[in-house]
Amino acid sequence: MTLTYSRTMARATRSTGSQALTALALTGIAMAMGLTLSEAAAKEPTPSHSAAAHAPTAAPAAWTPGTLRDTLNSLPAGRAEQGRVVHQQLFCASCHGDNGQAPTHNWPHLAGQKAAYTAKMLLDYQSRLRLEGRRAELMHDIMMSPQQIADVAAFYAAQPAPRNEGTTRPTSTADAKRLVRKGDPTRLITPCASCHGVAGQGGKLEAAALAGQNPLYFTRTLLDYQSGRRANDAAKGMSAFAKRLTRAEIEALAHYYADLPTGKK
């Protein structure tokens, strides 16, 4: 690829509006019938007829590890095949691809993501805890039942992590492997692997799987944590971690995790 990583990231950011319009255009039929996106989603058939399955699962104004654990444990069991139906009905593929691998630089890959992490993000969009920009705003009006959240999260978790998906990689001389395995005690930086696993497979609760993630999305996410634009982490661990990193280290980590499923690291 001839574009530099920085230019590609800038172009991806500028194109967010058109991507959002594409996603919204897919709901044109419902809108033509006079329905809002929330109403259209609410009219979609759901796998379970249980009243409990449709009761809203409210996220608190701010998470603590305890409230997050209790809320995630209260969700119904997720069913991957039913999650595929939800993925199709709510047009998730327009941003995240048919199987959770995003077709553009703007959106995260969800394939191989931990179900608990995906469920938490959907709850955070519902409660407006995620407010970091137009991408988040696009998700705010998509209403899902607890069963739908559990099912679509299970669907993404069942998909293989992206490998060699062709997303532009950043270039950096920072030692990403050292940060992943050892951190930097002199700056009170804990190893990434202590929460996200040595293989980037993710950990408990909101510790996301990172292996194979779109590096532009990865970079943007850490910059949002660093600036305070994103602050939905329960214990503020990511916010504190990101603030101690340099831009070069963030880009090195993005490259490291993007290539991790290939076994190069």
Domain spans, the chain:
5-157, 176-262
Does the domain formed by 176-262 have CATH 1.10.760.10? yes
- Amino acid identity, position 128: R
> Residue 30 pLDDT more than 70?
no
Q: Coil, helix or strand for 27?
A: coil
- DSSP state at residue 228: T
- Homologous superfamily (CATH) of 5-157 is Cytochrome c-like domain (1.10.760.10)
What's the pLDDT band for 57 if we cut at 50, 70, 90?
low
Angle between helices 5-14 and 215-227 (to 10 degrees): 80
- Position 60 scores a pLDDT of 67
Q: In the prediction, which pLDDT does 142 show?
A: 84
Distance CA 201, CA 52 (A): 31
Q: Are 234 and 127 in contact (CB under 8 A)?
A: no
CA atoms within 13 A on the CB side of 24: 17
31 against 5, higher pLDDT: 5
Count Cβ atoms within 10 A of the Cβ of residue 103 and give its class: 0-12 exposed, 13-18 middle, 19 or more buried: middle
Q: Do domains 5-157 and 176-262 have the same CATH topology?
A: yes
Segment 37-41 shows an average pLDDT of 42
Higher pLDDT pick, 6 / 132: 132
Question: Which tokens hold the place of 235?
Answer: 């214990």
Q: Rounded to the nearest 5 degrees, what angle is found at the Cα of 43, between the Cα atoms of 41 and 46?
A: 85
Question: What is the residue-wise DSSP string for 134-175?
Answer: HHHHHHHT----HHHHHHHHHHHHTSPPP-S--PPPP---S-
* Three-state secondary-structure class, residue 122: helix
Cα–Cα distance, 141 to 146 (Å, whole number): 15
Phi, psi (degrees; rounded to nearest 5) at 62: -150, 135
Nearest to 203 by CA among 235, 162, 228: 235
| pLDDT bracket for residue 265 (50, 70, 90) | very low
Query: Which of 19-23, 47-51, 102-106, 168-172 reaches the highest mean pLDDT?
Result: 102-106
159 phi/psi in degrees, rounded to 5: -90, 145
Are 147 and 47 in contact by the 8 Å Cβ rule? The answer is yes
Note the Cα 170 to chain centre separation in Å.
20
